[in-house]
Structure 1
Amino acid sequence: MDDKNNDQKCKNRFRIRQFIASDGRRFALLFDSEESAWPALAPTAFCLHQLSNKGAATERQYLQSIKKTLEWAADQNVDLEALLQSAKFPVPLIDSLAQALNKKQKLGKDDEEGATVTPKSFNSAMEQTHEYFTWLFIQIRSNPNSTASEKFLERLNKAFKSRKRKTGSDAAYAQSLLNKKLSEPTRLALTERFEKPFGYQMTEFQKGVLFRDALMLEIFYELGIRLGELLSLKLAHFIQATGGDHAYLDIVRNQDDEYDRRVNQPVVKTNGRKLAISPALERKILTYLGDWRATIPGAGFDDNSFLFIAHKAGPSQGQALQISAIRSFFTTLRRKDKRLSELHPHLVRHDWNYRFSKECQSRGISEKREMEERCFLMGWRDNSDMAKHYNRRHIAEQAYEVSLSMAKKINRPKS
């Protein structure tokens, strides 16, 4: 068997499957098809011992790193447990493992062969693999507290640390945020879609899907919320305007929601909060609920039913919209309209923060007050580092304007 076929066989051998417990808790298990129908023992024990309180997303990230490690070991005919038990891990093997963890997994026909992951993703995979190796070594070593064992763990730690890639400084990251906002062509294309979501000669089904998708985009744009926050919205979270008060959306923390049957559950990562919405957006939500959502077979109407649902006929019709559906929607948008080629949910969030800074400036709001309000509206803790980064963008633009004004006042000799 050639190397390429052997590599593919190793990738097909290991599978990560996701489950929902009876109490709503999400968890993932790694299966090795060559062992048995049961989950792989060591990775499962590691997750139970080390990751049980870290959440489903973190567990999946660790298992992805462990899966790539096991695929590498199978491809290289390496017995990981025997290797660790011997307290020996040759440098060439560590280099080979690092190369495997650095490769991006080929998920589709358009993915580039041999592409590498980002430095941040690579470093995370190295850290997670090192943590798994350390735990596994302690479990299988007869004398894990001996001097020899401690020295081996020190060498292993140094070996993994020395191979991590540079990710850039915090200052460079903060500087990169200064330019993250929508371009004017992209902004124009979005607002056009908000106002005219339909094309010509469309079926009612197509119109319903396009109206739903344009509404989701407008919520992203108006509120700057995260993808998980949007997909976690339930009917009870939409509060109509009453007695002169604005309508609002209630963002509620929802880890392991027993009413959410999506295995890959969208979650609210930040603090819960109430976000006022414009009358125009309120009207569009009411239109979606009455004219489009209400006509979908299987749609629920109790408080725990989700706001955005699948329209397409099939087993998932009327059920909560999946994360994969949103990602596919953005991919289609980028492909169909070149003006939207840069668009993704988090860029819209960056743009919201840019517009928020401009609004605070026009209102004469102090930097301290701006930071407090930004933290609340984004769901961040008080004095969040992210809020500081975005406030820095505001300060940088003001400083540029002041320095330009100073330069214009310099007395220069006439030519």
Structure 2
Amino acid sequence: MTSLVTKHIVSSTGERQKLLVDGCSGVPLFYPNLYITSQIRGSAKSVATIQSFITSMKVLYSWSAEYSVDIEGRWKRAEWLKIWEVDSLRDFCSLALRQALARKGKVVNIKQGRPVASNVNSPTKYVRMTFIADYLRWLAEVLNKEPGKGRRIEIDEMCKSIKSHRPKKKGRSDASREDKGLDPGLLQEVMEVSKPGHERNPYHGYSLQVRNAAIMALLHFLGIRRGELLNLRVDDIDFIANELRVIRRADSSVDSRIYQPLVKTEERILPISNRLAEILSEYVTELRSVFPRARKHPYFFVTHKPGPYQGEPLSNSGFGKLMSAMQGVAEEFSLVHAHAFRHSWNYRFSKALDEAGDAHSPEREEKMRSYLMGWKETSGTAATYNRRHIKEKAKEAILMYQRGIGRSGVASDE
């Protein structure tokens, strides 16, 4: 086994599947794919989770090839990983995937090993080692039918040993999350540059500029996610009622994209302004319709680039390219990405609620925000995205408090 690759399968019903296969023979690896089917897909995990598992397996089997560790053969003999092997596996999990797959040469003495420089961040390494530990436990139980109590204890100890070598799992830092939104001045400049015909517009061709202006407008006005935007269909927009529906469509049979964009959480109906409706209407009626392939599927945004995919639904990579082009307009534009619009939307929404006075209670505000963003009311995510605004309000409050102390004639902090 010299290389491992991911094979993507889209069935006639639209179901997406990923398999780990031998890159030379094209034969799927039996046990990793059995684990995918029975343990990951069987528990209704996402395609992204399967890809994360496959990446972990590429690291595991690359490590076993480099150090000549016959995992399946040893498991049948109940010969588990030694402590120095766990140490070596831990170090190997620090490698970027390309580097791990590229390490070739003679088999290395596992106790001596090779120097390893950490190339992946701690969360990635944590996920890899978790998947590997859980897979090796499962594999040990599969290959040892009805293991006795003593053997189960040995398997548990090995799994615990691997997991104990994971980097410490730190909570997601909230210190800078409120600052991930775009500065209001920068946001205004981005929207200005994205207008069709602007001299700094990075996109060439009027139809492409109109499409990308519509994309920027949706991100700006609604704060929707990238997957929700790419999942949008023509019939999801009611131009009479000025409403846009965000609908979940996992494993859609009419979506030709291998990496199908998905709605992450809750479905919802969002009102749209007359101006936003005009922008979207111009694109779908005057420009999208000129591509023959666009008439064969319902997805709103399509590929404009000449070639075999022209008129097909816009892909994740295509969306990434348009964002990269905008980031290249100026140095300060490097901060522009889809999720930054989402943070900015929440900041502006908080400002709008402030201007409304006491019309809404805090509980009602959180419910409204959760609905509009597609979060479950009990998730607590609304508070996270509102942190930037809360921070500003806290600063205003303490300054007001300090000014009050000053007016009272108190000259010290006592």
TM-score range for the pair, normalised by the shorter chain length: 0.7 to 0.9
| Unpaired segments ≥5 residues, structure 1 | 1-8, 108-112
| Unpaired segments ≥5 residues, structure 2 | 100-115
Residue 321 (1) aligns with residue 314 (2): yes
Q: Is the 8 A contact 1:181 1:351 kept in 2?
A: yes
Q: For residues 30-88 of structure 1, what are the alpha-carbon distances to aligned partners after superposition, in whole Å with 9 as ceiling and x for unaligned?
A: 11135x43211111111111112223222112111111211221122221112333332
Structure-2 residue corresponding to 1:57: 48
Q: Is the 8 A contact 1:371 1:383 kept in 2?
A: no
Structure-2 residue corresponding to 1:177: 177
Query: Distance in 1 between the 2:49 and 2:270 partners?
Result: 28
Structure 1 stretches of 4+ moved >6 Å: 200-203
Deviation at 1:393, TM superposition (A): 4.2
Structure-2 residue corresponding to 1:105: 97
Residue 299 (1) aligns with residue 294 (2): yes
**1:40-51 matches, cutoff 5 A:** 40-51=29-40
Deviation at 1:200, TM superposition (A): 8.4
Residue 189 (1) aligns with residue 189 (2): yes
Q: For residues 232-288 of structure 1, what are the alpha-carbon distances to aligned partners after superposition, in whole Å with 9 as ceiling and x for unaligned?
A: 011111110x3xx4x121100011111111111001111111111121111111111
SS at match of 2:286: helix
Matched residue type, 1:292 = L
Q: Alignment length, in residue pairs?
A: 388
Between 257-266 and 87-96, the greater mean CA deviation after superposition: 87-96
Between 385-394 and 38-47, the greater mean CA deviation after superposition: 385-394
Matched residue type, 1:141 = N
Q: Is the 8 A contact 2:195 2:209 kept in 1?
A: no
Q: Is the 8 A contact 1:87 1:149 kept in 2?
A: no
Residues 33 and 89 of structure 1: is their aligned pair in 2 closer, same or farther, counting only changes over 3 Å? same
Query: Distance in 1 between the 2:231 and 2:384 partners?
Result: 27
Query: Distance in 2 between the 1:326 and 1:150 partners?
Result: 49
Residue 77 (1) aligns with residue 79 (2): no
Structure-2 residue corresponding to 1:156: 158
Residue 345 (1) aligns with residue 347 (2): no
Counterpart among 1, 12, 26 of residue 16 in structure 2: 26
Query: Distance in 2 between the 1:267 and 1:390 partners?
Result: 21
**1:5-404 matches, cutoff 5 A:** 10=2, 13-34=3-24, 36-52=25-41, 53-85=44-76, 86-106=78-98, 116-144=119-147, 146-169=148-171, 173-196=173-196, 198-199=198-199, 206-240=205-239, 242=240, 245=241, 247-300=242-295, 305-364=298-357, 365-404=360-399
User: How does the TM-score come out when normalised to structure 2?
Assistant: 0.87
Q: Is the 8 A contact 1:189 1:339 kept in 2?
A: no
Residues 215 and 65 of structure 1: is their aligned pair in 2 closer, same or farther, counting only changes over 3 Å? same
Matched residue type, 1:69 = L
Matched residue type, 1:260 = D
SS at match of 2:323: helix
Residues 336 and 99 of structure 1: is their aligned pair in 2 closer, same or farther, counting only changes over 3 Å? farther
Between 248-257 and 188-197, the greater mean CA deviation after superposition: 188-197
Residues 332 and 73 of structure 1: is their aligned pair in 2 closer, same or farther, counting only changes over 3 Å? farther
Residues 69 and 164 of structure 1: is their aligned pair in 2 closer, same or farther, counting only changes over 3 Å? same
Query: Distance in 2 between the 1:149 and 1:158 partners?
Result: 14
Structure-2 residue corresponding to 1:3: none
User: How does the TM-score come out when normalised to structure 1?
Assistant: 0.87
Query: Distance in 1 between the 2:314 and 2:382 partners?
Result: 30
Deviation at 1:341, TM superposition (A): 0.6
Q: Is the 8 A contact 1:26 1:263 kept in 2?
A: yes
Deviation at 1:227, TM superposition (A): 0.8
Query: Distance in 1 between the 2:329 and 2:388 partners?
Result: 32
SS at match of 1:17: strand
Deviation at 1:321, TM superposition (A): 0.7
SS at match of 1:51: helix
Query: Distance in 2 between the 1:131 and 1:220 partners?
Result: 39
Deviation at 1:388, TM superposition (A): 2.6
Residues 96 and 331 of structure 1: is their aligned pair in 2 closer, same or farther, counting only changes over 3 Å? farther
Residues 255 and 194 of structure 1: is their aligned pair in 2 closer, same or farther, counting only changes over 3 Å? same
